[in-house]
Amino acid sequence: MPLDFSPSIVLRKDEGLNRIIISNGVNNGISNQGLREMLMSLTDAMSDNENPILITGSGDKAFSMGYTANCTKISDKIHLEEAYHLGTSVARILLRSQVPIMAAVNGYALGLGLEIALCCDFVIASAKAKFGMPEIKYGIPSLTGFVPELTEKYSGALYARVKSGEIFDAEEAKKLGMITSILPALNFNKAAIEYARKLKPDLVKMLKPEEKVSQYRTAIDSMFFRLYNPTCSTMMELERFRNSI
């Protein structure tokens, strides 16, 4: 590993709380390496105690604006296959964990960033948070395979909103049952940490649904590589859109 390597996912173990921070530039994009780091951070956080886990983004523009890859990698089927398997592995850990996991969204949670938040047990947000799956408009499907399963955890109305590809705000997200609380943007991270410390592991275990294989999962897995065929221009257009908001 190069000496100047800087992880894009950082785990901080505080007293009574494990914090996973997405930290990759202004947009906090998540690459294949970021997904590997997310898997390692989640495994590490769960390995030695039952402290709640809080997932946040660095800065105040974005929780994460989604998947990122350069032109060479996005055109490589092996690279995409790895991205999908890493993404589904992250989703399964988040959905099956007996440790309470909360996403705290300050700014944009788009694409893969939104999927990660939705897979957590709880989502809280600042008043300026924005959510959406604009990737759908660019022909890029779910990297976690979770979007078709949304109705198993959330309302059909939220599924329809996400599937539209449009961006919506925190107030609408709360009405759709996606987030449990809206906190002030000022000192948001401090308030989110205090909120997460109050999560009760035993209560989360009681509320967790029984583990099962979704009826959509096999179909998603078999269709993925037939559907997912982004080009350099696709990703360039998506990056331009992200940078414009």
Pair of tokens at residue 2:
């190069």
**Within-domain flag for 212:** no
Domain count, the chain: 1
Q: Which whole number is the average pLDDT over 128-144?
A: 89
Domain around 116: 9-207
Virtual torsion, Cα 224, 241, 176, 154, nearest 10 deg: 20
Mean pLDDT of 153-170: 93
C-alpha torsion sign, points 136, 141, 143, 149: positive
Examine residue 228 and state whether it is found in any structural domain, yes or no: no
Name the band, by pLDDT with cuts 50, 70 and 90, for residue 94: very high
pLDDT tens digit sequence for 28-43: 999 999 999 999 999 9
201: CATH? 3.90.226.10
Exposure letters 43-73 (e unless 16+ CB within 10 A, then b): eebbeeeebbbbbbbbeebbbbbbbbbeeeb
Report in angstroms the alpha-carbon separations of 81 from 75, 88, 228. Answer: 11, 11, 10
